[in-house]
A and B are shown apart, each in its own frame.
Chain A
Amino acid sequence: MRVKSYKKLAAISVITGSVLFSSACSDANSTSGSKKSGDSNTISITFRDGGGTNKGLTDWLNNDIIPEFKKEHPKANIKLSPISASEGDYFAKVALMLKSDQSAPDIVTEDTFMVNSDASAGYLEPLDDKLKGWDEWNQYIDNVKNGVKAQDGKTYGVPFNTDSRGLWYNKELFKKAGLPVPWEPKSWDDILTAARTIKKKDPGVIPLWMNSGKATGEGTSMQTFEMLLYGTKDPLYDEGKGKWIVNSQGLLDTYTFIDTIYKEKLGPNLSQVLNGQGGTIAYTQLMPKGKLAIGLDGIWQAGNYRKDGPAPWPDAFKTLGYTAMPTQNGEEPGQTSMSGGWAFSIPKKSDNKDLSWEFIKFISTKENNLKLLLKENNLSPREDVSKESEYLNLPMFKEATEFLEHTHFRPSVDKYPSVSTVIQSTVEDVVTGKSSPKQAVENYQKNVTRVVGKDKVIER
């Protein structure tokens, strides 16, 4: 028995030992494969790979960009480092990566609201000197350029898309419920009325979908909360005074609207909407199946229904309408929207900034940007691309572009990302009935004050 056990121990040691040895090898391999090999021809790109709406970007890099770039730079080796994470986790993961020499990629895609924050943290490389020698920069729309400028006045990214938000609605369900088509809501009350009508006439259908949880991250802040708040008289941030508005009628009304939707069961089940994949399910499954009447979301959702999209639906735009989000009580100018977008940035700890810049210039040309936007169904940050007929014919492009006239951008302050997570958790508290709209405002005030400091807040 004793001898047997001993043999067994020997066996275990041999197995684990050999495994450990191969571990050493595999570790060595993966290190040499990474960018830290000192190879000046290798650049790595980090982007979010979440299926759904991010499919376009991945396809574009793989099929349109990398083979072409290699023709011009035969020695170049482009390494894709996609991050599979929910939107909220993606930004934290990127910040974790950018902080260290070991893991910083050479190019990173950032939502423009993170650019300012990550630039202030010293994670990103200012591009002003490089932009000076790049004549195409003139083609970029000024508003979009502002989005990638940090508080120090320097520019830290080259945008590759922008967007606007509005109300998607299913015309057939509207007709069935006796609602007017085309639908042009003039106030929040009009939206509520439509939702209530749908609920009454067609109980199997979800009347209104808006991202409402922490899991949908920035989607909750921007597509839901800010789309409502910027339709009131009180914005998130007082640009003139440089302070956050932490208590206002607008905040209360926004939370109240969200509360009404869930209290009256005009929204989806909590198990659907508080899920990180909620938005994807809403637009790739519920909407095509006629199970969802209205959705407050961005123009890019149109990309789902393309032939090569995640949920091909040839008749999508006969059935779906896209209309502007009204202001609270129809105040001037009658409609509102939010715009953001994503940009390519070069991390400060990248060890191959020159080739990275070459790559960014290459992928940002008129031709390549157009290819991306045709895949993504998003708006272009470039004026010349916006005039291309191929692009103008994108479904709902006309509407989405019109929304840009009265659109808003998120406050360009490095604290925005933290304020945004406060928004997400307070919204989820309201949705789940954990706090009343009034308590939500109180929590918002308390937490935002903690995050930005007492001297940076005002009440209205």
Chain B
Amino acid sequence: MKRKSIKLERTLPYIILTVIGVLFLLPLLWVLIASVDPNANSSIKVPTAFTVDNFKSVLTNPVNIRAFIIGLLLSLGQGLLVVLVAGLAAYPLSRYQMKYKKHFMFTILFMTSLPITAVMVPVYQLFIYMKLQDSLWGTMFFLTAAGLPYAIWMLKNFMDAVPLELEESAWIDGASVWQGLKRIVAPLMIPGICTVGIFTFSGSWGNFFVPYILIQSPEKLPASVTIYQFFGNFGMVEYGKLAAFSILYTFPAIVLYIFSQRFMSQGFSLGGASKG
């Protein structure tokens, strides 16, 4: 009797996890299968034939390619800017003692929490005043600013964990602050940089609202908006193409995730926020 319950205790988590896993997999499975099914519809089924036509037709459309490239540039550009600007800001916040540092950090933490969705109307108006409407650069700067508070907060905490001694020895060898940051601190912070970079990238890669409001010319729209429009116009008819489009669109996010996956768990200990 007792042995049985121990056995159950061992297997039950596996059973529960398997069930959850299957439930999580189902909605995704449809996209995978429908994308290679020449006669895809909205429900999952074993395809009668295999085709890459869906992918072909999405990829041979120059409009889609352009949208993909713009989306990539927007998100990568933003990711890079965020890491660069936030990394710079994190340095004095981590290394120096400043009078108003505490206030500044609290403000930063505070900004992290504000929902970006809420400020789109004022941002749109601001863009009109500044003549940044319909500008990809303007959109990138806005997305960068929106990602900054979180990034500064995280990178400051990551930087706190890098021992000062290493930097000091570089200074003795004659390195400047900038060189120390570049040669010693940055390489040691790769996990943090990757975590922040990926957060930022996937946040804006999936964001269709910001470019939808700020970009008007059809030829400047990133993939997030075109995929929404595709869905709106043909979603109910062309399931296979939609699925292929979705997979292609998810691809960069997956690649980036795998690329830096090994650093992610360190980024997740939230140590920064809870331990200070």
Contacts and interface: CB of A to CB of B under 8 A. Distances in A.
A16 B79 contact: yes
From B70, B72, B77, B186, name the one whose CB has the most chain A CB atoms within 10 angstroms: B77
A2 B137 CA distance: 35
B216 A93 contact: yes
A50 B233 CA distance: 6
A320 to B, nearest CB: 22
Contact of A100 (B77, B134, B187, B188): B134
Interface in A1-34: 2, 5-6, 8-9, 12-13, 16-17, 19-20, 22-23, 26-27, 30, 33-34
A101 B226 CA distance: 23
A12 B160 CA distance: 23
B76 A103 contact: no
A8 B134 contact: no
A101 B129 CA distance: 10
A81 B232 contact: no
Nearest to A79: B219
A119 to B, nearest CB: 19
A281 interface: yes
A23 B187 contact: no
Contact of B73 (A5, A26, A102): A26
Nearest to A7: B187
A85 B229 contact: yes
Interface in B206-233: 213, 216-220, 226, 229-230, 232-233
A84 B216 contact: no
Contact of A30 (B187, B217, B226, B230): B217
A100 B124 CA distance: 10
Contacts of B135: 102
Contacts of A2: 187-188
Contacts of B131: 100-102
B106 interface: no
Interface string B72-109: 11101101100000000000000000000000000000
Given A20-B76, A93-B216, A103-B133, A51 B187 contact: no
Nearest to A13: B80
A86 B232 contact: yes
A26 B69 contact: yes
A20 B77 contact: yes
Interface string A81-97: 11111100000010011
A458 B72 CA distance: 54
Contacts of A22: 73
A23 to B, nearest CB: 4
B124 A96 contact: yes
A102 B232 contact: no
Nearest to A285: B237
Given A5-B190, A81-B218, A84-B218, A277 B128 contact: no
Contacts of A275: 236
Given A6-B187, A20-B77, A101-B131, A277 B236 contact: yes
Contact of A27 (B76, B136, B190, B216): B136
A8 B226 CA distance: 33
A99 interface: yes
Given A20-B80, A84-B232, A102 B134 contact: yes
B50 interface: no
A100 B133 contact: yes
Interface string A23-65: 1001100100110000000000000001100000000000000
B82 to A, nearest CB: 11
B187 A26 contact: no
A276 interface: yes
A51 B233 contact: yes
Nearest to A278: B236
B234 A51 contact: yes
B38 interface: no
Contacts of B127: 100
B69 to A, nearest CB: 7
B193 interface: yes
B235 interface: yes
A85 B77 contact: no
Interface in A98-125: 99-103
A40 B34 CA distance: 48
A335 B237 CA distance: 36
A11 to B, nearest CB: 10
A57 to B, nearest CB: 15
Given A27-B136, A97-B216, A19 B72 contact: yes
Contact of B76 (A19, A30, A82, A85): A19
A371 B132 CA distance: 40
Contacts of B233: 50-51, 84, 277
A23 B236 contact: no
A193 B190 CA distance: 72
A341 to B, nearest CB: 23
Contact of B80 (A17, A27, A99, A100): A17
Contacts of B70: 26
Interface string B126-161: 011001111111000000000000000000000000
20 contacts: A5-B187, A16-B77, A19-B72, A20-B77, A20-B80, A23-B74, A30-B136, A30-B219, A30-B220, A34-B217, A50-B233, A81-B218, A83-B218, A93-B216, A97-B216, A100-B131, A100-B133, A103-B217, A277-B233, A277-B236
Interface of B: 69-70, 72-74, 76-77, 79-80, 124, 127-128, 131-137, 186-188, 190, 193, 197, 213, 216-220, 226, 229-230, 232-236
Given A82-B218, A100-B127, A102-B134, 10 more contacts: A9-B193, A16-B77, A20-B76, A34-B217, A81-B219, A85-B229, A85-B232, A102-B131, A102-B135, A281-B236
Interface of A: 2, 5-6, 8-9, 12-13, 16-17, 19-20, 22-23, 26-27, 30, 33-34, 50-51, 81-86, 93, 96-97, 99-103, 275-277, 281
